[in-house]
């Protein structure tokens, strides 16, 4: 199927049909199929050319899958695996904020949450807690976006400066290189 004819429904159907065995187990044949069929589509998505997909539920889910999951198959073990992670997180954020996670197949819901696994925020914890409970990440009774409702979804505080070498000097409970080497070779 040439990438110019691929629709969001095609992506969602392909991913659903692939199923958990192919989602979570490295498979060279599946990786090659994803690359052969969808590498050009992924390039378009990474260039921002598929942002119109976000206007539909299937489109938003498909865009997140293309940006987040496809490069993990196409470029397994390569730095390009993570090339579109920020775009996937942004698209997933918009989809979740619109309530998409409450409207899609629960089996595919996790693909809206996976882009946050490498992010530096507390949102993944709340999303996966909601997924474990079998529901979307929403506080429906409040009628507001989760970022404003739940403390676990607030951004992390800025990182603190490194305390410096004085806290890691010999005698502070952490052996220096020589001390660590001696510990390993004395045994």
How many C-beta atoms lie closer than 10 Å to residue 42's C-beta?
24
Amino acid 2: pLDDT? 45
pLDDT in tens, 1-18: 444 589 999 999 999 999
- pLDDT band, residue 161 (cuts 50/70/90): low
Residue for token pair 């696994």: 117
Prediction pTM value = 0.66
CA distances, 158 to each of 112, 121, 163 (Å): 25, 11, 15
- 3-157 placed in CATH 1.20.58.320: yes
């Amino acid at each position: 199927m040439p990438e110019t004819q691929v629709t969001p429904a095609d992506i969602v159907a392909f991913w659903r049909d692939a199923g958990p065995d192919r989602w979570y187990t490295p498979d060279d044949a599946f990786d090659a199929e994803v690359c052969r069929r969808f590498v050009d589509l992924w390039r378009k998505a990474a260039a921002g050319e598929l942002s119109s997909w976000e206007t539909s539920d299937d489109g938003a889910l498909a865009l997140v899958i293309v940006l987040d999951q496809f490069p993990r198959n196409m470029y397994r073990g390569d730095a390009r695996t993570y090339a579109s992670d920020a775009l996937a997180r942004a698209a997933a954020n918009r989809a979740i904020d619109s309530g998409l996670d409450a409207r899609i197949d629960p089996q595919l819901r996790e693909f809206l949450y996976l882009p946050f696994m490498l992010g530096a925020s507390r949102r993944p914890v709340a999303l996966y807690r909601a997924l474990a409970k079998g529901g979307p990440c929403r506080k429906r009774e409040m009628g507001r976006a989760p970022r404003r409702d739940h403390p676990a979804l607030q951004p992390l505080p800025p990182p603190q400066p490194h305390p410096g070498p004085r806290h890691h000097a010999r005698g502070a409970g952490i052996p220096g290189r020589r001390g660590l080497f001696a510990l390993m070779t004395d045994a």
